Amino acid sequence: MSLLEQQNFLARLFTDESLRHSFFENPEKIGKENDLNETEISEFKDFIAKDLNFFADSLFHKRLHEVEKMLPLTKQALDKDFAKLFRQFSQTFNSSTVKKHLADSIGFCKYLQQFENSLAKDTAKFEQTKHEFFNQEKLFSICFLHHDVFSQKSSFKIPVWFRIGNRIRHFIL
């Protein structure tokens, strides 16, 4: 296996908790399924036994902290459930873009919209639309909400962002 392939497998082990547990339980099987030879499997087992969980946990907390900074309203709406839901999301999502924290934030917002908590869904939709507008250089973005994401009260709102030349305008109807 090439060095790049080894690094990609290690990255998956760091970010995918279920793969990491499977590798702990049966390293030979998981190693072969991922094209590792016996020497590589042995080296990965030795490395994993020492440092992998600590390193993986520190990576998760770094991702969590960056997403919390990018989604302050969603964090406020979810309160203590934010970290738990982000951990669930992070098990299935691994960005391949250069702007990993942005991709994490937008992906997490999409993930949250499948749940029942209407305020959290609206808040995630609002912040997702805002980040997509600013980072994908859209000319116009709009979303429909059932809550005022700032006061957290039930109230139909329509946030609008638009760009004319270098000028950006944002308002909520």
Query: pLDDT, tens digit, for every residue of 80-109?
Result: 999 999 999 998 887 777 888 999 999 999
The mean per-residue pLDDT over the stretch 104-124 comes to 91
* Mutual angle of helices 53-70 and 100-112, in 10-degree steps: 80
The mean per-residue pLDDT over the stretch 9-20 comes to 81
| pTM strictly above 0.75 | no
Residue 77 has pLDDT above 80, yes or no: yes
Share the mean pLDDT of the chain: 88
> Euclidean distance between the first and final Cα of the chain, in Å?
56
Measured CA to CA in angstroms, residue 9 lies from 39, 124, 173 at distances of 15, 31, 48
Output phi, psi for 143, to 5 deg: -145, 155
Residue 78 has pLDDT above 80, yes or no: yes
pLDDT in tens, 39-75: 888 888 777 766 667 777 888 899 999 999 999 999 9
Q: How many Cβ atoms are within 10 Å of 106's Cβ, its own excluded?
A: 23
Q: Which token pair is 2?
A: 């090439």
Output phi, psi for 162, to 5 deg: -145, 155
Nearest to 125 by CA among 86, 158, 169, 80: 158
Q: Residue 50: what pLDDT?
A: 61
What percentage of the chain exceeds 70 in pLDDT?
96
What percentage of the chain exceeds 90 in pLDDT?
48
Lowest mean pLDDT among 24-33, 121-130, 137-146: 24-33
